[in-house]
Structure 1
Amino acid sequence: MLVLSRRPGDSIVIDDRIVVTVLEIKGDTLKLGIDAPTDISIWRSEVLEDIKAQNRLAAEVEKEGNRDVLRIGELLLNKKREKE
């Protein structure tokens, strides 16, 4: 991890495409400005973790739903075979 000291108005540049500027420091709060191309996603870590958790949950629900559909298909196929 790179650790830098910056003052309000100072910036760092990442990969010649992302500029992070210290806008303000008030007490224990630091305000940053981030200038980056629109193809780069920028998330607060806690928001990204929430998104990942929701995606995992949605995948589980979809997986469960697919199992139900397959089970219904099996039941219908068995009913059809019983009639024949």
Structure 2
Amino acid sequence: MLVLTRKPGESIRIGNDIELKVVSVEGDQVKLGINAPKSVDIHRSEIYEAIRKQNSQAAREKLSEDLLQAMKNLRKKK
């Protein structure tokens, strides 16, 4: 992990297209501004994790449905 020190108003660049700017620091809270192309998804980590879990669950349910349908189709062929 790269750790950088920045003051309010300062920024860092990620590649050519992404800029993270420290907007303010208030107590133990840091406000960041993010400039990135619209094609880049940006989520807080807890939201990203919830989306990942939901997608994983949906994929497992879809796989279960597909397997059940395949088994039904095999029975019909016999």
After TM superposition, is the score higher than 0.5?
Answer: yes
Q: Which residues of 2 match residues 55-70 of structure 1 at below 5 A? A: 55-70=55-70
Count of paired positions: 78
**Which residue does the alignment assign to 1:34?**
34
Displacement of 1:56? 1.0
TM-score, with length taken from structure 1: 0.82
Hey, which of these two has a bigger chunk of helix by percent?
1
Displacement of 1:35? 0.3
Q: Does 1:4 align with 2:8?
A: no
- Structure 2 CA distance for aligned equivalents of residues 23 and 8 of structure 1: 5
- Structure 1 CA distance for aligned equivalents of residues 2 and 14 of structure 2: 12
1:1-53 deviation digits (Å, cap 9, x = unpaired): 22111111111112121111111111111100000111222221111111111
Q: What is the one-letter code of the residue matched to 2:47?
A: V
- Structure 1 CA distance for aligned equivalents of residues 39 and 22 of structure 2: 22
Instruction: Report the aligned-residue RMSD.
Output: 1.2
Select between 66-75 and 24-33 the one with higher mean Cα deviation.
66-75
| SS of equivalent to 1:57 | helix
Which of the pair has more CA radius of gyration? 1
Unpaired runs of 5+ in structure 2? none
Q: Does 1:46 align with 2:46?
A: yes
TM-score, with length taken from structure 2: 0.87
